[in-house]
Amino acid sequence: MTARLIIMGPQGSGKGTQAARLAVRLGVPTISTGDIFRANIKGGTELGVRAKVFTDAGNLVPDEITNAMVADRLAEPDAAAGFILDGYPRTADQADVLDGVLAGAGSALDAVLELDAPREELLQRLHKRAEIENRADDTEDAIRRRLEIYAEQTAPLTTRYAERGLLVVADAIGEVDEVTERLLAALAAHVG
Ligand code: ADP
């Protein structure tokens, strides 16, 4: 099976952790837009300077910047046989652009994994992470803003993927290992 996957889920759902683990198990690279932005901000690149004002406030980086960055990354040879997109697409425009980029390369998505967790659990996990990691965008306001944007702009994308028969939902509650196995089992059941 090819594994051209998106992993979706609100901030705090464990999406990044699970994306990295699935990538190892499936032998494909993870493409995390948040990680790429953070690396560029740290490196002081032009992209990083442009992105920082948005990420610090918990706002989305404008679509034209993000879309171009992801299209470039998907064109790299290691993504030819599959990938796990983490943190992208987050808007309807990004989802449209992604479909176009894949179609242009003669490929398409295999599945969209969604991690599901109750809001109280998410907030608890995010506050814990803020204490441990000290991320610039893990302030109270930025966290609230990111959850709002997720609910308004990103969560609705699951409907579109469900309509295309691509959506696979898994419960995000439990031990990290348990959630990974749950995701892999749900994926296997989906792709048959
Ligand atoms: P989180 O999932 O906790 O919001 P991420 O690491 O995925 O964190 O993203 C951090 C920040 O990077 C976002 O708040 C946003 O500013 C920017 N970002 C990441 N992915 C995207 C995207 N697809 N479109 C626009 N901005 C993005």
Does the beta carbon of 61 lie inside 6 Å of ligand 1?
yes
- Which secondary-structure segment (H or E) carries 36? helix 33-43
Classify residue 15: in a domain, yes or no. yes
Range of the domain at 175: 3-184
Task: Give the pair of three-digit tokens for residue 111.
Answer: 């599945």
Distance 51 CA to ligand 1 centre (A): 10
pLDDT at residue 63 in the model: 97
Classify residue 42: in a domain, yes or no. yes
Q: Contact, 179 vs 172, CB < 8 A?
A: yes
Does the beta carbon of 137 lie inside 6 Å of ligand 1?
yes
Classify residue 57: in a domain, yes or no. yes
The alpha carbons of the chain give a radius of gyration, in whole angstroms, of 16
Predicted model pTM:
0.93
pLDDT at residue 119 in the model: 84
pLDDT at residue 140 in the model: 86
Classify residue 83: in a domain, yes or no. yes
pLDDT at residue 1 in the model: 65
Considering its fold, how many domains does the chain have in total? 1
Does the beta carbon of 58 lie inside 6 Å of ligand 1?
yes
Q: From residue 191, how far is each of 8, 25, 38, 112 by CA, in Å? A: 18, 16, 33, 11
Classify residue 189: in a domain, yes or no. no
Classify residue 63: in a domain, yes or no. yes
Identify which of 77, 5, 66 has the alpha carbon closest to the alpha carbon of residue 40.
Answer: 66
Classify residue 191: in a domain, yes or no. no
Classify residue 114: in a domain, yes or no. yes
Angle at 52 between CA 146 and CA 131, to 5 degrees: 55
pLDDT averaged over consecutive 10-residue blocks of the chain (192 residues)? 91 93 97 97 96 95 97 96 97 97 96 93 87 86 90 95 97 95 96 80
Cis peptide preceding 10, ω within 30 of 0: no
- CATH number of the domain at 73, please: 3.40.50.300
What is the three-class DSSP state of 58? coil
